[in-house]
Structure 1
Amino acid sequence: MTIETSPGARDALRAWIDHLRALDGAAEATCTAYARDVTGFLAFQAEHRGGPMGLAEIGRLGTPEMRAWMAAERMRGTGARSVARRLSAVKGFVRWLSEREGFDPTAILSTRAPKFRKPLPRPLPAPAAKDLIETVAMQHETPWVAARDVAVVTVLYGCGLRISEGLGLKGRDAPLPATLRIRGKGGKERLVPVLPAARAAVDRYAALCPHDLTPDGPLFRGVRGGALHPALVADAMARARMQLGLPSTATPHALRHSFATHLLEAGGDLRAIQELLGHASLSTTQAYTAVDAVHLMETYAKAHPHGR
């Protein structure tokens, strides 16, 4: 028999999600994931405790209940990174709820996430990034589609955009200005300079595109005129990297990593790169210093007499 969460707890969860969406500007995908994570947590606790999970019961959860939930997640095969993400969602909900219900959330907020190794970004060497963009141009026989794919990957690499940000550009953004105003994660805006190569690629695509690029419509269009799907960009890059013998990590997101790493290698300031990427925390951007250090050590090992 399944024991359900109380209506009060479900209403509180909906209110928290509405708060994230309206006041914190959380993306819809983030809201959906958080709601799913917290719902799963509450369902487990209801079964574990043998009774409905209401607001009062949430306030009485302690360390044993948190450990039992995390152990059950790992037993189900959930990876450490996913457990950490779900715990973060639970903590966010409980922190918000405790301020309204007046209970002490310390036991939940002090629960430590399982440790996991955060993989370093996998950027492409600058020549490989250039070759990849040139090879993408040969992946479609229809000239305007090929020009479109080149424009997308050039913008991702030349401006350091997430693919959702690149595909979120509107018709009014063409021709690209010298500086783009990008709305990234959490609704945060940042200014990104546009390289001439990116502007030229978008100009060529816009001139060839058979669809009317209306100001409020998507800049990058699918064959039938709708918004371009990210999977089509990934497919074009996958075909190009196979031709070039590049690793499977050469994805659209790798172009963003490449943008940051190549700026750092050229002497770019870490804080400025953080602003360009739209990272909320400098620690996220600092991952690129590790990448750059690895690159430098590999170069040193090849050049040093003892490394040959």
Structure 2
Amino acid sequence: MAPSLEEPLESATSQLVAPEPEHCPGPETQQAGQGDACQTCPNKEICASAPKGPDPDIPAITERLLDVKHKILVLSGKGGVGKSTLTGLLAHAFANNPDSAIGVLDLDLTGPSMPKMLGVESETIHVSSAGWSPVYVLDNLSLMSIQFMLPNRDDAIIWRGAKKNGLIKQFLRDVDWGDLDFLLCDTPPGTSDEHLSVVQLLKESGIDGAVVVTTPQEVALLDVRREIQFCRKTGIKILGLVENMSGFVCPKCTFESQIFQATTGGGRALAKEMGIPFLGSVPLDPRIGMACDYGESFFDSYADSPACKALKGVVRGLAEQLKVDSQQVLFEEEP
């Protein structure tokens, strides 16, 4: 039996009679029903009587994720920088080691793209006594996404924050991941409800850190600066910055063109300015887009491409930040 999106999601806001006003302190906070924005809100009495304090499901989430060794968030302040694409590339790179078990959690609820990129778009999830079963892309690579729960793949998710947060909680609390070496969480752009929820819910079980993705131009770097500040304010370690689409390398002549010109030094200069590790630059390759469209592994199909070689450098840098053996993360045959 597959879970239904029509099932009620547990939330302290499920009985609200009106939309949350601007500057709402949150129905589960100590100031709920008492703030200035609450005085004229129809939800005042409901929020004032709602349970306060730490989320009671956090211990259950911590227990569920005890066998997940490393939890990594993939973040970007701006949409369109290839964050989900990089998540899929990292997942395939990690899964190249047959002794590693990898999970991908698609937290971009309104724009779930991981099922398409990993080639399991038509699959569904099932419920057992152990919980929700993720979809297996490979024997050692599993995925959970809201896409698997939609009756039609073109259906739009038009939800307020409370319902989004409820589903994120269910993904963390109810999914039976089993023993994982790495859990990659693909997040939506920006610093919104989804980010705050996953940080709060994983606080006790521990987040190893975040990989921040950007492109070279200043427009993207402006938003990435805000993402870095979000990580610092919420106590998330920044494992490193990846500059995606750093240049276009022609597959035939290998000449590199700068499609997104770096006017202020790009990702490398930003990493130095902000005092965070720079994991590397991944060039733009049209075959990456084709691999995502067909749900294939670019990492396996074009192992000798400049983009794949750059990606291997990113993985080695990530392994160094996680203090694990790079050979364990990125399995390579001895020469």
TM-score with structure 1 setting the length: 0.24
Q: If you compute each CA radius of gyration, which structure gives the higher value, 1 or 2? A: 1
As a proportion of its length, which structure holds more strand? Answer: 2
